Amino acid sequence: MRVCLNDLIFKGYHGLYDAEKKLGNTFRVDVTIDFTPSVNLIDQMDQTIDYVEVYQLVKKMMETPTPLLETLVCKIADQILFEHTIAQYVHVKITKETLPIPFFEGKTSVSIEKRK
């Protein structure tokens, strides 16, 4: 079974450069969590991954300024695996919408995959 949270949008102050820390940026976060259900038909919340809880976890971590997105994706992935004991695999991707580089067009992202 797979639970996905896609295109979560956050304003954050992550980055190494003063402009990033002062002005902030828009970040998009994608999370994929795999698990094996213990029943054939999931009909109770304790049999699945609560995506509201995952969203709250991601939101809290995105509110804490972090210099490197690499650090942030690792912390989010580790915390999801820790808090959701049935989770077997997690993929977290954070995309930075704009960069403080003159004439740079495009986006950049950092992602990680972790398994138990």
Catalytic residues: 96
C-alpha pair distances (Å), 29 with each of 39, 44, 45, 96, 105: 30, 27, 24, 9, 20
**Residue pair 35/1 in contact by the 8 Å Cβ criterion:** yes
